[in-house]
Amino acid sequence: MHGATSAASRPTRHDSAPHTPGVFEHVPIAAGRALVGPSDGAVELGPDYV
């Protein structure tokens, strides 16, 4: 599990190796918005994703 905290004035980026086929990544958003996904196909998530 990976945790991240970010502020609008100091955005955080986390790059990782691709996951193996069949792996799902869950990204709960408590507040604000985040761009997540592969660098060539990121999507914006907000707190309603939880």
The confidence score (pLDDT) of residue 50 equals 47
The pLDDT of residue 1: 67
31-45 in b/e form (b: 16+ CB < 10 A) is eeebeeeeeeeeeeb
User: In this structure, what DSSP letter does residue 22 have?
Assistant: T
* Coil, helix or strand at residue 44: strand
Alpha carbons 7 and 40: distance in angstroms, whole number: 23
Say which amino acid occupies 42: A
| Range 7-14, long-range pairs (CB < 8 A, 24+ positions) | 8/32
Tens-digit pLDDT profile for residues 1-50: 667 777 777 777 778 888 899 988 888 888 888 888 888 889 998 887 54
